């Protein structure tokens, strides 16, 4: 990839249902612009003709692709969104929708709306707007910090506090 940030990385996740709406539109964009687009196709049967693609890769390989991308376009799955935010690249989220048989329900709309509301990226519902969204992507969100670090810090503090109370004769955790 050369580190030139001249690639769009697209992920449809690990869902057993296909996501042809997103894959076909990104394939059209690759064909019309000549831009290099790499698509993770998952378990679906829709494969692009003008994009590089793969079904699955290791998490480390995916994170490396994301770090080298000028833009990440993904479904609104929590794992994909969190990884994209950690890469600090511009993010477009296209939720899988029940009406297109892309998911069992429309829960991905909630996460996609939250991404947009928090300023983490842009939600795209109508894939016909993807060419413009990709040409003028949102700013990368630079301040994302996974909650995991805060949670681990709180747990460490509680453990240290409990250990200190036990050393000083106080009661720590009770059973």
Q: Provide the residue ranges of all domains of the chain, joining segments of one domain with +.
A: 7-143, 145-175
pTM to 2 decimal places: 0.82
The three-state (H, E, C) secondary structure of 12-49, written as one string: CCCCCCCCHHHHHHHHHHHHHHCCEEEEECCCCCCCCC
Please tell me whether residue 146 adopts helix, strand or coil conformation: coil
Gap between the Cα atoms of 153 and 168, Å rounded: 22
| CB atoms near residue 127 (< 10 Å) | 18
Tens digits of per-residue pLDDT, 53-101? 999 999 999 999 999 999 999 999 999 999 999 999 999 999 999 999 9
Tens digits of per-residue pLDDT, 35-44? 999 999 999 9
> What is the Cα 51 distance to its own chain's centre?
19
Task: Supply the CATH classification number for the domain 7-143.
Answer: 3.40.50.2000
């Amino acid at each position: 990839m050369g580190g030139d940030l001249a690639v769009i990385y697209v992920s449809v996740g690990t869902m057993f249902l296909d996501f042809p709406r997103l894959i076909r539109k990104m394939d059209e964009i690759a064909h019309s612009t000549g831009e290099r687009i790499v698509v993770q196709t998952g378990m679906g049967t829709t494969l692009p003709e003008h994009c590089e693609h793969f079904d699955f890769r290791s998490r480390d390989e995916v994170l490396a692709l994301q770090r080298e991308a000028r833009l990440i376009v993904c479904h609104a799955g929590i794992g994909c969104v969190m990884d994209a935010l950690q890469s600090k690249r511009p993010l477009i989220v296209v939720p899988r929708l029940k009406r297109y048989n892309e998911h069992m329900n429309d829960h991905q709309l909630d996460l996609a709306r939250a991404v947009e509301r928090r300023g983490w990226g842009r939600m795209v519902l109508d894939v016909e707007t993807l060419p413009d969204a990709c040409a003028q992507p949102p700013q990368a969100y630079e301040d994302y910090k996974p909650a995991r670090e805060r949670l681990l810090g709180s747990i460490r503090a509680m453990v240290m506090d409990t250990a200190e109370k036990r050393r000083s004769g106080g009661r720590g955790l009770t059973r």
